[in-house]
Structure 1
Amino acid sequence: MKALILFGVLLISGAATYLIRLSFIALEGRMNLPMWFRSALPYVPAAMLTALIAPDLLMRDGALAVSIDNPRLLAGIVAIVIARVTKSAMWTIVGGMAVLLILMKVMA
């Protein structure tokens, strides 16, 4: 029974997400969005990614952890450098994860 409820919640959530995204696509030709809104749209993906990643890098055990003994923060900084140098998502992920795994073993 719980699995059926969970499956229903997932289906409803997926449908709601799909409809919200579709609304922007479907209304594009019919509605004239303000220029300030259109100029802000390219920044949405970077803002969303930052909002998802920053808490994981900066928080540890529910407290702000901006120090050299935070392996996630150090690996994140290395990943930023790799991304800047290589401009490759694959190398950024591989390098950041490798540094994180090494630091977690060393600092454990």
Structure 2
Amino acid sequence: MDRQILILILGTALVTYLPRMLPLVLLSRAQLPEVFLRWLRYIPAAVLAALLAPGLLLPGGKLALGGNPYLLAAIPTGIIAVKTRSMALTILTGMAAMVLIQHWM
């Protein structure tokens, strides 16, 4: 293997690993304030919303609130997710809702 390629691979591995490892090592011994811990609990929901919003609200790149099958299927799926907290039931609800909506539209 060429030396430059090896250095490149090791360098990218280090750049990828360090930002993940350092906070774990540094913060594992620290006692974090309760307000910070409460704030951290909202990150997964915020990331999920950021990932889902464009697909639900902007199919085809344009804002579509009416007649949007993705948004219509997300409504019962979200309700089931909040009420049951079951991943399997949520996925099944989303799939069934999408099939029914596409059948009717």
Q: TM-score, normalised by structure 2?
A: 0.72
1:76 aligns with one of 54, 57, 74: 74
* Alignment gaps of 5+ in structure 1: 1-7
Alignment coverage as a number of residue pairs: 95
1:91 aligns with one of 89, 92, 96: 89
1:91 maps to a residue whose letter is L
Map Cα deviations across residues 19-52 of structure 1 (whole Å, 9 max, x no partner). Answer: 3332221111455656654331111111001100
**Structure 1 pair 35/85, CA: closer, same or farther in 2 (3 Å)?**
closer
Counterpart residue number, 1:5 = none
Counterpart residue number, 2:40 = 41
CA shift for structure 1 position 104: 2.2
Counterpart residue number, 1:102 = 100
Counterpart residue number, 2:56 = 57
Counterpart residue number, 1:66 = 65
What is the root-mean-square deviation of aligned Cα atoms in Å?
2.6
CA shift for structure 1 position 84: 2.3
